[in-house]
Structure 1
Amino acid sequence: MATGKVIYSFDDVFSQIQDGATLIVGGFGLCGIPEKAILALREKGVKDLTIVSNNCGVDDWGLGLLLANHQIKKMISSYVGENKIFEKQFLSGELEVELVPQGTLAERIRAGGAGIPGFYTATGVGTPIAEGKEHKDFDGKTFILEKGIVGDLAFIKGWKADPHGNIIYRNTARNFNPLAAMAGKVTIAEVEEMVGVGELDPNHIHTPGIYVQHVFEGTAYEKRIERRTVATV
């Protein structure tokens, strides 16, 4: 059941996800990841997914859960160093990987959301990243063409939202989420707190509701730490 943009179960919208879909997922490490949506995706069991996200979680949490369930066919990401399942599937040829410099990945997602099909960047020139890509000189400097990314769906994690889908993120959990929200043909936001219309200060809204089609209020977030580091006092 749904009321406007507010949904009470991911089942209400997951019928839109087909095998082979491209999904853009917010988060950085385990910070600001849409935990509940990922768990629901695992239960749905869709396969051959292309996932666009900064990284692929860890072995037993985040997007790593979808890897372990053999649901991901291709990862487009910047960092892959915390997941042994990822390493195993990549080396065996089961998982296709497109590594993208982090700033380029952010700009590709932003460009896709802004309706920009491509842009030139100097990042990656002269490296394997540039192989097979168009090169062009501007003012005596070489750049490569990178294409914008648009997903069939985007999954993001917010802190607070109103029923119109206006989103506020908390601190560094903001990371890739605003970009991902723009670049999905359909964007599903899960948040920790739903407030009434008019309760969010318009000056503090990070993602306007125009980019969000569905909002889900989750509870009991684990908020795991990817790699805990403590200091001896």
Structure 2
Amino acid sequence: MRAAESADSNLATPWLRPFTGRHRVSTAWRAGLPLHEALNSVGPRSVQFVPQTRLSADEAYEAFIFRTRTVPTRDNLHDFFNGLVWLAFPQTKRRLNELQAAEIARTGVGATRGPLRDALTLFDENGAVLDAPAALWEALVARDWHALFVTRRALWSDARLLVFGHALLEKLVAPRKAATAHVLLTGASLSNALDDATLAQRLGPEWLAQKPFVPLPVLGVPGWCAANALAEYYDDPKVFRPRP
């Protein structure tokens, strides 16, 4: 199956609802436009996508984006989802890029990324943001999965989970029970937590360098998988692991 067709086959899933331009991008891509042109056809002027060939071998990807204010894009699912996140959360993506570029300018590109660049990459690829009642946060941090998803299940009607990481969105094209997000550990319900400007402002380098994340198997979220309507779904220690 072509990447464009694969992208279009799973666009109605709950984790993609925040990405309102997804159908237009997918339609343009399936019609034959290169992905960077499909993204540009629906995107704001603040974000521009260019062919991957614009990126030279001697310049880091993050440094190129910072220097040119454009995003190199390949015709594949990984970059399709990366583009969707750029379109929906341009300020947050720009903030991540600014922090990456600053670290590259400060330390160069070496064999290891360092704690801040590691955290930035982890959030960019596999991150999520949760706006939820305090009782759900308490259960999540404790990795008390039964409380989080069974006894306190009704509280999820007042919660919102944003899957931000584009690599995780790509994995969810063929959902597997073990798919796990790294949720930013804000520790409480936040007004407008999923707002682009609010999220961008929260991304301080000192805080991120501490890797303030907690794992969450996303298919455990009520409504995200039909099988999790049964409490027995969570009796799987290979996925719903206790806190070390």
Query: Would the TM-score normalized by the shorter structure come out above 0.5?
Result: no
Which structure has more helix as a fraction of its residues?
A: 2
Which structure has more strand as a fraction of its residues?
A: 1
